[in-house]
Structure 1
Amino acid sequence: MAGRRRWSTEEILDAAAELLRTGDADAFSVRRLASELGTDSSSLYRHFRSKTELLRAVADRVLLAAMEGHRPEGDGKQRITALALRLREAFGEQPQLAAVWGRYASSGDGARLMMEEVIQALRASGIPDEEIPERYHRLAVLIAALIAFEAGAATVGPDERAQGMELFRVAVLGADPARFPAVAHFARDLRPLGADRAAAFEAILAAHLAGMGAAGRA
């Protein structure tokens, strides 16, 4: 009887990415992945020591693809903005994987390429070396959070989105002025979290980078 097929690391990652495109990190399991491949979990653990390690590797492939062919241009702020938009686009094509990156991070070449570019851009902005690690951390958290938020909103269907908008309107426009005076005052101008996500992403990033520049000049 012929033995079970031996799957390569890349084939395993391809299958894992496909499962995550149609599900989410909570529903994902090594056992389910093994079943999809027609093998057992132990054969996958020869490639990855844990589910978390496997998920990190899947997320890192998105980073690696985003960094492929990237050519830094402009000053430090322009470089960071271009990188953030590039990562946003890459995860926007695979929104389920954005949550994986936000939750598990990654530690492969994709992550190292991203880190290298951000750190080089911070240095180009005139940030003192002793401040670089903390500045990098804040930027990484901000970019990952913005991308994960956008991706999460992108996975919501039109019916759920419409229901959410209606619930928001009820919650805001129906706010009791006696209990929630500030909400009631601004009710007609407040927007739900999902509104104008693209503009919000760029505005929040620009505000952070503006503050970074001011601190760097101090």
Structure 2
Amino acid sequence: MTGRRRWTADEILDKAAELLRTGDTESFSLRKLAAALGTDSSSLYRHFRNKTELLREVADRVLQAAMADHRTGGGGADGADWKERVTALALRLREGFGEQPQLAAIWGRYGSGGAGSRLVMEELLRILHDAGLPEREVPVRYHRLVVLLSALISAEGGLGSVAPEEYEQGLEQFRVAVLGADPERFPMLARFAREVRPLGADRRAAFEELLAAQLADIEASLEASSSEASSG
């Protein structure tokens, strides 16, 4: 009698990504993954200590794929194109997770210390350094940027995982609740009811505007640092 097949870590991650694309993270479990592979949970623990570690590895694969052919460096000594470089990286990450929305939420929730995560960290830190930020500000600005990107991409991913009919039902409930708001109890809501938009509306423009605002803040800091250096 032959024993059960031993799956490699990559094969396990492939199947996990497949299940997560068609399901949700809350219902995902190592037991379900093992059943899909035709094995038992104990065989998965040879490769992964727990569910969280496995989910981090799955999300990190998306980061690795997004960074696979990304052109790093090349910013120039004056950092003239640093904003374009950050934007290009951000859009690349959004595109990668856009194809696998459930995995975006995993990245936002669990983070990752894998190879893909390190590539993203290295590139963002390099760009900010090339831009001319003072050394002490580089890690701080990096953290703000990566938190913003993670939150925005995760939010888009969560929206992308909602079935069209569920999304339409939510929109209808939103319209009824907002347009029917009692003007005495909710005077501002009633006043702006026709202009207020649901959270899921036009996320692409919101993503770009919020990222641009963060980059403008960094640019203002660069200008302030340059002025201080000149006056000193």
Which TM bucket (shorter chain)?
Answer: over 0.9
**Other-structure match for 1:208:** 214
Q: 1:217 aligns with which of 213, 219, 223?
A: 223
**Where in structure 1 are there 5+ consecutive unaligned residues?**
none
Runs of 4+ in 1 over 4 A off after TM superposition: none
In structure 1, the residue corresponding to 2:2 is in which secondary structure? coil
Tell me which moved more, 70-79 or 198-207: 70-79
- Asked if 1:51 corresponds to 2:57, the answer is no
**Where in structure 2 are there 5+ consecutive unaligned residues?**
76-80, 225-232
**Other-structure match for 1:197:** 203
- Spell out the pairing of 1:75-90 with structure 2 (5 A cutoff): 75-90=81-96
**Other-structure match for 1:185:** 191
Tell me which moved more, 146-155 or 172-181: 172-181
- Asked if 1:115 corresponds to 2:121, the answer is yes
- Asked if 1:34 corresponds to 2:22, the answer is no
CA distance in 1, matches of 2:153, 2:184: 37
What is the letter of the counterpart of residue 8 of structure 1?
Answer: T
- Asked if 1:139 corresponds to 2:148, the answer is no
In structure 2, the residue corresponding to 1:148 is in which secondary structure? helix
In structure 2, the residue corresponding to 1:96 is in which secondary structure? helix
Question: Please, what TM-score do these two structures have when normalized by structure 2?
Answer: 0.90
**Other-structure match for 2:15:** 15
**Other-structure match for 1:156:** 162
CA distance in 1, matches of 2:42, 2:95: 35
Question: Please, what TM-score do these two structures have when normalized by structure 1?
Answer: 0.96
Contact 1:76 1:123 survives alignment (8 Å):
no
How far has the Cα of 1:148 moved from its partner? 0.9
**C-alpha deviations, 1:19-60, integer Å up to 9, x for none?**
111112111111111111111211111111111111100000
Report the aligned-residue RMSD.
Answer: 1.2
Structure number with greater Rg is 2
CA distance in 1, matches of 2:48, 2:125: 29
CA distance in 1, matches of 2:204, 2:121: 23
What is the letter of the counterpart of residue 24 of structure 2?
Answer: D
